[in-house]
Structure 1
Amino acid sequence: MTVLTEPHTMPPSNDRRGVDVALTNVRLVLDDQIIEAGTIVIRDGVIEAVGRTATAPPDAIDGRGMLCIAGLVDTHSDGFEKELRPRPNVVLPADFALRSFESRVRAAGVTTVFHGVGFENGSKYDRSVEQAHLLCDTITTRRADADARVDHQILYRLDVRDTDGLVALETRLNQRHGDLLINEIPLVSAEDHTPGVGQYTDRSYYERYIAGTKGLDPDEAKQYIDQIVADRDDKLDNVDRALSWLANRAHGGTIRLIGHDPTSAAEIDAAVERSVSIAEFPTTVEAARRAHERGLRTVSGAPNVVRGGSHSGNVSAAELVSLGLCDGLSSDYMPTTLLGAVGTLVHDGVCDLATGVALVTSGPADTVGLADRGRLNVGQRGDIVLVDFDGRLPTVHLVIAAHDHVAPMPIGASK
């Protein structure tokens, strides 16, 4: 087989053995090009060869001309929390909810997912510090299972006004609780969801949201949010303590710190002083541009792209992509929007296919420091997806993760 890159032999690993599989007749989406009629070979869960071929390996699966991309890396998913509570007053067992959501993630082409776990005691999102510990324990346990279908990681989300949340997160990170962390560096997001701050700078959007979800009239919704603001203003003293603690950890390199929903250049400058390295969901072009100027990675929401704009009146993610101010997309609350966003961006002429794919593969991997995945390069993890697009609409045909036990059957084959 003639390939663009030489076969690569990985050093011995203590990790469980990975999948052996080859695919041919696929369109390989690389960083800077698309290779037609390509072949990719994965041995022991690692990409061994990739490129054009005249003769495919005899065991190769015919990809029928579909796109072959690296497995998606989702750096912010709240889906586990939502899976846990599918209806009001219904709470599923955490281990069942995680495996259920794992199937949704995998079907969307995601092979690495960072589950957002909120460290706070608050009724708005049905979060508590007890639940936060439970979710972290469940994620860690599942990640260690040999049959886990994706690589489960944790995004620690701290409400900076919540004293209980700060104590709980401090305890968890100090004691480690056996959490399995990327490069041993936890990913932590500093967040303030007070109406009038960050995402809901224009609180009228939140008032309409509350009116719709709670069946309130406009005046009742306004009074409801006034009370939320008053309650949270009583917790302002905790903000400085939380931000100082996070900054000290980030300065020391013991956490990778995210600034959530930055709104301005001034906020970005303050974030840099706290050793923030990622600007997540910037709400304005000004904030995103300043983040790039200051060397921060930027993450926007894939649902924003699919919907055609922000549901809370903030900047369009597609606009940030067009301006070169977005390094990656995350699913936020819906895994299927990642490939949906790629299809939308390419269909609308915002970017080319390779750029769109990078926003959900190599871009997010680089943002959180995962150098071993996100690209179809020799030596990378063998996480790959076969997908095609009908206009802007994606269909996932096959997902292979590095540590799958069994190679997939050829498409259309019978047992």
Structure 2
Amino acid sequence: MFTLRQYLLALLDSRGLTRTLGEIDVCRDEQGRPCFSAGNSAAVFRIRLGGRIRSLRCYLRPMRHLKEIYGQRLLEKELYLHTSPETGVWVDTVLGDWIEGSTLHETVAQAAALRDRESLQILVRLFDRLALALVTDDRAHGDLKPENIIVGDDGTLCPIDFDASYLPAFAGEISPELGTAAYQHPARTAADFDERIDDYPAALISTALHALAENPTLWDRYGSSDGLLYTPQRIASDPAYRETLALFEKRGMAVQYRIAQLLTAPTLRLFGLAELLAEAVREKPAVRSGTEAETPELFVENGRWGYRTAERVVVAPLYDNGFDFTEGLAAVQLGGTWHYIDTAGRTRLSCPGCAAVKPFRGGKAQVVRNGERQEIAHPLKTPRYQ
């Protein structure tokens, strides 16, 4: 075990204490303090080396598989630490690029406080693409959380801290860490160590970001320094989670509703998550009209309803019930709420509180609300139904 003090003493006067790097210049903040961040297993220093700003990862305890994880970025026995006035030891470090920016957690907290829905929606799209790449890979980050994702000054998302990563070469081993409890499935153990350990945190972060993009005030009530919105250990009864489900249901956000439902799964492997994330990032085409447009037909898969043509699925099976398309819209039920969607799957009209709805005919549709039959107008031709 090594201490932060030992590293500070070595790096702040590194002459003769490095094997290949030469003298290291540790960057300082406006108050003259060394720039670094410390976690459970390592401290990361912001250094200037060869005219470039770099990061130097220094370990507080022994870590395994660093060579497999970091490759040439690992500098073995690079830095000499004094363990006493007369003795010391050479330790491994990891040299990497310094990413200018803020953590995803910091960026989300700031945007939510400012009610900046546009910025939150951008973060949502970026994260869902990152999450899809992670859950479809044969490796895993292992400690996926907003604090381990940097929102770069160029607007990109950059994961950091790969010490707990899973690689195919590690199959059959136990996990070196269990990840951060605020983002991990409560049933995760050291025996859970495969390419699917990012499933749960990816779904949880995606759900929270979508919820905040729709309603930033959730942060005022449920945001914290330890997590985003939810507590995995009591997810089914978590008030933020229940409010999120209700929000997604009310607004017809079918993909997000189904991803959120996965957070109550009894296992770490969230079956169907990759397909849902792929649907979340899919660009919806413009709705065609006229004779060229082929009207999609209902189909059911695993108890849920979607729409397809002879060539492809155009609306994924996400809904609990549905009607055929008429006049370019189909009535679908998500949870207990009815909506009308277009042929690209966009929600065009939501009908909260309606016990029953009928397809559009002649620009009008019948709905039952509060026990009364009412008539509503086509949303693409008149103001939306409230």
Q: Same fold per TM (> 0.5)?
A: no
TM-score normalised by length of structure 1 = 0.20
Q: Choose between structure 1 and 2 for higher RCO, CA contacts under 8 A separated by at least 6 residues.
A: 1
Whose Rg is larger? 2
Return the structure number with greater helix share: 1
